[in-house]
Amino acid sequence: MTMLTRSAVAVVWVVFVVTCAVLAQRTATRMTNLRALVSAENAFAQAAATKGTRDAFLEFLSDDGVVFQPGPVNGREFWRQREPRKGLLSWHPTYADVSAAGDLGYTTGPYEFRSGGPNDRPVAFGEYFTIWKRQSDGSWRAVLDRGISYQQPSQSPAKLAFAPAISSITSSAEDGRAAIIKAEIDFAAVSERAPSAAAAYLANDVRFLRDGSFPVLGKHEGAALLAPGTRTQHSEKPSFVGISMSGDLGYTYGDFEANLNNATRTKGVYVRVWKRQRNGRFGIVSDIQVPKPSQ
């Protein structure tokens, strides 16, 4: 082996070692951020159990946090105007993800409501979905809270799992926001013209939440919801876009209208989370739709 060859091998080895160290550090940082996010969610649920739902939301919602009644409203203002009431709303996370910058994330999982308190039987069931943002003091606060209802499940809820770290590609928040806006517009257009082609916008671990139904998990199962014949004349109008500082995780919400299975037109509000994939494009990892009550 010549001296030049030895030098080349040494350089390759150093690059390999440094790359492994960087990846290990990223993984460790991501796990730390995920655990902090889940810890905040668990503290939120514990506060609801000890202080009541109203006071828990007032404690854990950010100043600009949004809830839906049925459209988006300031969550703190909404809960501040409500009187404390008897009953226990309990929940726990079964799935979570966080941005590369560790500043934006979401959690989701089952909830139950007991009208008389913890000793009562649950009378309502569903799946909550909360988007969290890290504040300037390092704490996590909820910037969006949405949920669906369904019948009592027959199986025990899944154990906590974390979303896979898909892409190491990051960008500025401005570039990420622009990419999500384009993806949102393209997805809405494709969904209306050629629903089967819309599946290309789904991430492999996508989660669909629809009121009255259990969550639909995975790209194959989710694509069935977009297939021709299941919905027609679908249109959406986004009203908000949020993005992480690393430009790899963001969310949108807005109004939708749909004619489902040739039935009466349905209007409602959707929330969608986008995550940058290995190819650099954004894919949908969460899609929530809840119809507005009939007038």
Task: Reply yes or no on whether the pLDDT at 258 is more than 90.
Answer: no
The answer to whether residues 133 and 61 touch, using CB atoms and an 8 Å cutoff, is no
Omega prior to 238 cis, within 30 of 0:
no
Question: Measured between alpha carbons, how far is 290 from 256 in angstroms, rounded to an integer?
Answer: 9
pLDDT in tens, 160-216: 999 998 777 888 999 999 999 999 999 988 887 777 788 999 999 999 999 999 999
Q: Identify which has the larger pLDDT, 137 or 189.
A: 137
pLDDT tier for residue 16 given thresholds of 50, 70 and 90:
very low
Indicate the range of 122-126, 142-146, 200-204, 235-239 predicted with least confidence: 235-239
pLDDT, position 117: 84
Angle at 273 between CA 272 and CA 277, to 5 degrees: 135
Task: Reply yes or no on whether the pLDDT at 218 is more than 80.
Answer: yes
Task: Reply yes or no on whether the pLDDT at 36 is more than 90.
Answer: yes
Q: Could you tell me what percentage of the chain is helix, strand and coil, using 3-state DSSP and rounding each to the nearest 5? A: 35, 35, 30
Q: Provide the whole-model pTM.
A: 0.88
Helix pair 3-51, 53-60: axis angle to 10 deg? 150
The answer to whether residues 54 and 82 touch, using CB atoms and an 8 Å cutoff, is yes
- Residue 78: count of CB within 10 angstroms of its CB: 18
Q: Look at residue 291 and give its three-state secondary structure.
A: strand
The secondary structure of 86-140 as a DSSP string is: S-EEEE--SEEEE-TTSSEEEEEEEEEEETT-TTSPP-EEEEEEEEEEE-TTS-E
- Residue 233: count of CB within 10 angstroms of its CB: 11
Question: Measured between alpha carbons, how far is 275 from 98 in angstroms, rounded to an integer?
Answer: 10
Q: Identify which has the larger pLDDT, 70 or 272.
A: 272
Task: Reply yes or no on whether the pLDDT at 21 is more than 50.
Answer: no
pLDDT, position 96: 98
What is the average pLDDT score of the chain?
87
pLDDT, position 211: 93
Domains of the chain with bracketed CATH: 30-162 (3.10.450.50), 173-291 (3.10.450.50)
